């Protein structure tokens, strides 16, 4: 049975996808959306032709940009079937360089290691962030990039109420202490954490344990 997160994004897949068609407007009202995308692209270019895993890939917009920028292989994972359908259609032109999987990140049938693992806007909705981040870390042998929301007094009072009463979902927020504890539990205590108005951007170098 689909859970509330999957149903929410299934219903809003088209509207969410269309956000990216209005780049100038999004730079004003959702600057973190584009800054995270730009950071992921910069990391991918710095790594040459990496294997990339995107956790919470949505409609495949970032995947499309990464593949166009020359990544060797892209694997996207999303819990929403409607999002996965959009991503698969968008990335079909890249043939076997792209694969999109319909599954929760923690249980997705992916095979690492990946040179770059990305999760932008995912941890607002994840019920078990430790399992999700732990799986991302396990599949990474390079750089991990993830964003985590923090409470914003302008945006979040209304957003929290809407999600709770209209969609039956609780939006997660992180502060410095909670995020640091999560990173430590997942072996990412040495991460670089950038604090921004609406969230944190985490960049970590992941060295797999010797086999």
Using an 8 Å Cβ cutoff, are 8 and 167 in contact?
yes
Bigger pLDDT: 58 or 19?
58
Domain boundaries of the chain, sorted by first residue = 4-205
| Dihedral sign computed on CA atoms, order 170, 31, 192, 60 | positive
Domain 4-205 has what CATH class?
alpha beta
Please give the Cα distance from 200 to 192 (Å, whole number).
Answer: 10
Using an 8 Å Cβ cutoff, are 105 and 54 in contact?
no
* pLDDT of 86: 94
* pLDDT of 16: 74
Using an 8 Å Cβ cutoff, are 41 and 82 in contact?
no
Using an 8 Å Cβ cutoff, are 67 and 98 in contact?
yes
CB atoms under 10 Å from CB of 81, counted, come to 15
**Is the bond into 113 cis (omega within 30 degrees of 0)?**
yes
**pLDDT tens figures, 118-148:** 999 899 888 899 999 999 999 999 999 999 9
The answer on pLDDT for 2 being more than 60 is: no
Query: pLDDT grade, residue 1 (50/70/90)?
Result: very low
* pLDDT of 205: 95
Residue 24 vs residues 21, 28, 48, 183: alpha-carbon distances, Å: 9, 7, 29, 33
The answer on pLDDT for 49 being more than 80 is: yes
Strand partners, 52: 74, 116
| Dihedral sign computed on CA atoms, order 137, 139, 144, 145 | negative
**pLDDT tens figures, 65-80:** 999 999 999 999 999 9
The answer on pLDDT for 29 being more than 60 is: no
**pLDDT tens figures, 154-197:** 666 666 666 665 556 667 788 999 999 999 999 999 999 999 87
Please give the Cα distance from 150 to 3 (Å, whole number).
Answer: 24
* pLDDT of 211: 62
Which one-letter DSSP state was computed for residue 66?
A: H
Query: pLDDT grade, residue 152 (50/70/90)?
Result: low
């Amino acid at each position: 049975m689909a859970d509330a997160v999957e149903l929410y994004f299934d219903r809003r897949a088209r509207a969410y996808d269309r956000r990216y068609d209005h780049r100038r407007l999004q730079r004003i009202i959702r600057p973190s959306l584009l800054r995270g995308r730009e950071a992921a692209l910069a990391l991918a270019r710095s790594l040459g032709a990496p294997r990339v895993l995107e956790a919470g890939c949505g409609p495949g917009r970032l995947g499309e940009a990464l593949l166009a920028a020359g990544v060797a292989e892209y694997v996207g994972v999303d819990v929403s079937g409607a999002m996965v359908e959009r991503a698969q259609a968008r990335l079909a032109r890249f043939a076997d360089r792209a694969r999109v999987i319909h599954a929760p990140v923690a249980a997705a049938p992916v095979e690492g290691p990946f040179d770059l693992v990305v999760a932008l806007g995912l941890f607002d909705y994840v019920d078990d962030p430790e399992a999700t981040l732990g799986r991302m870390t396990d599949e990474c042998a390079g750089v991990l990039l993830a964003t985590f929301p923090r409470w914003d007094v302008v945006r979040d009072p209304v957003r929290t109420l809407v999600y709770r009463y209209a969609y039956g979902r609780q939006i997660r927020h992180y502060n410095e202490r909670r995020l640091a504890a999560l990173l430590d539990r997942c072996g990412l205590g040495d991460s670089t954490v950038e604090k921004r108005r609406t969230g944190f951007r985490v960049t970590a170098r992941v060295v797999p344990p010797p086999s």
